Amino acid sequence: MQTRKLGTSNLEVSALGLGCMGMSFGYGPPADEAEMIKLIHAAVSLGITFFDTAEVYGPFLNETLVGKALSPIKNQVVIATKFGFAFDENGKQTGLSSHPESIKRVAEASLKRLNIEAIDLFYQHRVDPAVPIEDVAGTVKDLIQQGKVKHFGLSEAGVKTIRRAHAVQPVTALQSEYSIWWREPEAEILPTLEELGIGFVPFSPLGKGFLTGKIDESTPFAPTDFRNTVPRFAPEARTANRAFVALLESIAQRHNATPAQIALAWVLAQKPWMVPIPGTTKLHRLEENVASTNVQLTPADLAEIDTASAQLTVHGNRYSDAAQRMIDR
């Protein structure tokens, strides 16, 4: 497994990370903890050193899982987690909260759940319009000076927010959705990151599973799977969006690869400071994803993908209306 540096920071990680959310949250009931610990250990054995979690995944279950799995080798890996949501007394997520006291409280709780001495990369999960980003960046700067956090990150933040935050505390990485069927960051976000020396961590590089080619209009989801609320996964949208899978399949045939591997190889080919974090709960998918780092797309392949995808229209929004309102642009 090759490594990459996130922007101009000294944070070096495996070229492919592992998004751990789906092990505990988002795609149905939590998976078996012992099985997921084995999966995380398998990821380490395959060369993955970059693991992504958040307090809201569960809530709290995923951080605990990641902490248990990686505790024996915590000094050999990079663990990213996130703050920025509020919860009621029953642990139900109730909205956004990035007030300084909340950030400090989350940091302490995350350190305990992850069983680590310092958080390698601490993202603001969603921009809180009620709290100036300068206050957020300043609070994380204090935590860095105290040795509780090593690097500051943002998630789904717009250009103005990134610049304002970076002026207070250098931002190591931005995490946002990016894939062959969601290329909005290319317009303004990626040029800004390159200018400022900030790394990019694309989540959902496989389109929340759709770009694997294993989902069609009749594929059932668990009742608690959040894709049930996503317009892009309505049956009619899935039918229309199969054109993206067909494009990946045509390239995959030439490389003796899978559509998922081409989708990941495409992201990896965009910039050397990008580190996608596909998630999975299955060992064979993990192995498939890791093998994508050996797929070398040619300039002709990349040009073909660009030309063909420019002719395609994605059907359906990538989030529900409520989730969409939390995106800072």
Q: Which amino acids are annotated catalytic?
A: 57
Q: Which residue has the tokens 């080798």?
A: 73
Name which of 229, 200, 228, 213 is nearest 261 in CA terms: 213
- Sign (positive or negative) of CA dihedral 292, 293, 298, 304: positive
CA 78 to chain centroid, in Å, comes to 14
- The amino acid present at 324, given as its one-letter code, is Q
Burial (CB count within 10 angstroms: exposed 0-12, middle 13-18, buried 19+), residue 108:
exposed
Name which of 91, 176, 161, 170 is nearest 131 in CA terms: 161
Alpha helices in the chain (DSSP H): 33-45, 61-70, 100-114, 133-145, 159-168, 189-196, 235-255, 259-270, 283-291, 299-310, 321-324
